[in-house]
A and B are shown apart, each in its own frame.
Chain A
Amino acid sequence: MKRNRVMLVDDEIDIIGLFSEVLTMNGIYVQPFTDPEEALKDFEINHDSYILVISDVRMKPISGVEFIKKLRDIDSKIKVIVMTAFELDGNQLKEIDTDEFFNKPIRINDLVQIVKKYVG
């Protein structure tokens, strides 16, 4: 199986919808999730197909930090981009083990650019 899928995780359904369409329109295979637990379950099974995970940092029932940690436990090779609409200071950022980080709202062009960096 080819590693070409991008996992999208955010509890805001509008955001998920937007980003999915944007990326899909740019020829990227996207798998959206609003529930991080569901996302984890899927990742456990299909982690081989994922090349990138884009996740919000503040979620329920598990936090973004926990979520990413678990992802890396399953597959250490996975690339992770974290996004947020919240205020994050430098210290909090250090705690999150992420390859890339952006603030919401983000221009869709910028989004595509960032994702393309990892997907190719």
Chain B
Amino acid sequence: MSQRLLERRIAIMISAIVLAGIIFSFLTYQYYLRNSSEVQKIAVEHIQNSTLIKVTDLSHLLRNKLDLVTVNLELLSSSKELSEQRLEIGKILVNSAQKTTANVVDFYNWVDSNGTSIWSSANSDDITNMKFKEFSAASTIYFSKVKDTQVPTYSNTLKFTNGQSGILIIYPIFDNQNRTTNINRTNEQFKGAILAGITSNTLNQYLGSQISPLSSANISLVDSSGLMTLTGIAQLTDANVFDKKFSSLTEQFGTSKSVKSITEVFRSAVSNPKTGTTDVTSGGKDLTLSYAPVVSNGIHYFTIILILPHSLVSSLDDLVVQQRNFAIAAMLIIVLSAGGIFFVITYWNKGLRRVVYIQTKELQETTKKLTYHDKLQKEFIDIAAHEFRTPIQSVLGYSEMIHANLKNFDQYFDKIIRNARRLEKLTEDILDVSRIEGNNLQLSKSNFDLSHTIQQLIEDHQKEAADKNVKVILDFKKNVPTTIYADEARLQQVFNNLLSNAINFTNNGTVIITAYKAQVDTNVEMGQQDEESIVVEIKDTGSGINPDMLPRLFEKFATKSGSGTGLGLYISKSIVDSHSGKIWAYNNKDGIGATFTFTLPIHQKKSKK
């Protein structure tokens, strides 16, 4: 792949990853955004629900308690004991009534028809004495009302000197014994009243015990006239929700940004006694206001308002934001890392390519040099061959010409010719040696008839043999295959060499050439192996081999005869070795002449083209 194409692909991949990273970051952001708003919604709903539940619970609790108070008052006001003013039993009844509603009511007071206290459940308690006094003072008005109206009366929130407030519930006591069907009771039947006194402190303690650590919750208790009976917000103490000043008091928290302000919520909660919840934003804070009326026996005593800020929500929101930021940061890191890795890879790749390029170039150079060297070698041989042969042709040719035409100069030209022939032989031998040394001796194998070849060669040497009175005999055994696969020309060279030598070194004798098939050791690199081979022996009755020469017989320039080059045996050995055969020589046992033997494995490797 070309450099540019690869780079372009890498660039595309990097862009794709970066783009994917951006898209994912964006999607993650959106997801977390929605997630956080969902979470917020859920949390807010949760707060709203719990606040509502709580406020409802509280209102029920308070209502139950007030119901109990009412029951107590009803029982007491209609009891015979109190109407007949049986003191002892009456005291017990009053005290036990207090016990049952101790956590809401401060005291029960039994007064006579003139308003004088007969017995109060608060007598036993020093602390309540103070309250009692103030209550007593306030209760006078209501006592008159009860006497006049003859029905139970409920006070508004009373203010006391110690900063507290309270309410009174007064029930008239009537003598029912002399009851007539007449609904309007006469004064004679009014026997006094029983009242229950409830202070804001007591209510606060009671409600506080019910609310369990909702630490930021704030309870406000507003009576039906709008007066703050009880509140946790300092500024709103003793205020009236319907007062014009009330809005400015709530505005101190901060300006309201929501549809409804705190003031509106308070007012509507008090005016329309029903359970509900509203969210309000004030001073940057989100608040949930839940309200529930406390209605006992049909009387709307209070409205409980619970205020809960959304601090939890905001901390939750913060968490979600954190998560989101973290996710985006992680995404960015991944994208950057991916980008970084790709850049590193590209850089590496470039580096590697450079190295590979350089090394390839070097290899190419080396290969070129080697092939060039080989080529040179081959060329040398080629040229050397031509250069040798051309003048030789001239020398020989002209010499032969002169020889043929001017027989007078026979002797001179004889020598010229002989030398020229020798030069010719040397040339071929040197070239062969050069080939052998340079591992360039390439065999050109083919199938040919060995017997025929040998016979041909014997004929070629006929004259030479005859001149020396040497008889050449060929003993070709039957087991020799008719055709063999080998380099014909080269084997001819070997035969020629050996036969020439045999004839040269023999006078008035015989040369016997024997050829047969046998199982012999082959000249294989791996080790000696027995192989089916043709064995050729050339035995002469000549002068034999000089014992000193025997060890170095097949080396270059070992023997130097008159017409020989000294290279013949060396070349013959190389040829035989190339055929995986063996060549050796020894002096004959009978002491006359020598025998040269070589083997030729029948199974030859196919020659390379």
User: Which A residues have a C-beta under 8 Å from some C-beta of B?
Assistant: 12, 14-15, 18-19, 21-22, 25, 58, 84-87, 89-91, 103-109
Assess whether B404 is in contact with A85, with CB atoms less than 8 Å apart: no
Number of A-B contacts (CB under 8 A): 58
Assess whether A105 is in contact with B424, with CB atoms less than 8 Å apart: yes
Assess whether A18 is in contact with B394, with CB atoms less than 8 Å apart: yes
Assess whether B385 is in contact with A105, with CB atoms less than 8 Å apart: no
User: How far is A89 from B387 in the complex, measured between Cα atoms in Å?
Assistant: 18
Contacts of A104 in B (CB 8 A): 389-390, 392-393
Assess whether A15 is in contact with B401, with CB atoms less than 8 Å apart: no
- CB of B306 within 8 A of chain A? no
The closest CB in chain A to the CB of B393 belongs to: A105
User: Which B residues have a C-beta under 8 Å from some C-beta of A?
Assistant: 381-382, 385-394, 396-398, 400-401, 404-405, 424, 442, 444, 609
Assess whether A21 is in contact with B396, with CB atoms less than 8 Å apart: no
- Contact partner, B389, options A18, A85, A90, A107, Cβ 8 Å: A85
CB distance from A83 to the nearest CB of B (A): 9
Assess whether B394 is in contact with A109, with CB atoms less than 8 Å apart: no
Assess whether A105 is in contact with B392, with CB atoms less than 8 Å apart: yes
The closest CB in chain B to the CB of A107 belongs to: B400
User: How far is A103 from B386 in the complex, measured between Cα atoms in Å?
Assistant: 10
User: How far is A12 from B382 in the complex, measured between Cα atoms in Å?
Assistant: 16
User: How far is A108 from B405 in the complex, measured between Cα atoms in Å?
Assistant: 13
A-B contact pairs, 27 of them (CB 8 A): A12-B390, A14-B391, A15-B390, A15-B393, A15-B394, A18-B394, A18-B401, A19-B397, A25-B401, A85-B388, A89-B442, A90-B444, A103-B389, A104-B389, A104-B390, A104-B392, A104-B393, A105-B389, A105-B392, A105-B393, A105-B396, A105-B397, A105-B424, A107-B396, A107-B400, A108-B400, A108-B404
User: How far is A107 from B400 in the complex, measured between Cα atoms in Å?
Assistant: 8
Q: Which of B386, B388, B609 has the most CB of A within 10 A?
A: B386
Given contacts A18-B397, A21-B401, A105-B424, 7 further A-B contacts (CB under 8 A): A14-B391, A14-B394, A15-B394, A19-B397, A87-B382, A87-B385, A107-B396
Assess whether B385 is in contact with A86, with CB atoms less than 8 Å apart: yes
User: How far is A103 from B424 in the complex, measured between Cα atoms in Å?
Assistant: 12
Contacts of B382 in A (CB 8 A): 86-87
- Contact partner, A18, options B385, B398, B404, Cβ 8 Å: B398
User: How far is A103 from B394 in the complex, measured between Cα atoms in Å?
Assistant: 14
Contacts of A87 in B (CB 8 A): 381-382, 385
| Known contacts A87-B382, A89-B444: A108-B389 contact under CB 8 Å | no
- Contact partner, B390, options A21, A85, A107, Cβ 8 Å: A85
Contacts of A14 in B (CB 8 A): 390-391, 393-394
Assess whether A85 is in contact with B393, with CB atoms less than 8 Å apart: yes
User: How far is A105 from B381 in the complex, measured between Cα atoms in Å?
Assistant: 16
User: How far is A15 from B395 in the complex, measured between Cα atoms in Å?
Assistant: 10
CB distance from A104 to the nearest CB of B (A): 5
Assess whether B386 is in contact with A58, with CB atoms less than 8 Å apart: yes
User: How far is A36 from B401 in the complex, measured between Cα atoms in Å?
Assistant: 26
User: How far is A12 from B392 in the complex, measured between Cα atoms in Å?
Assistant: 12
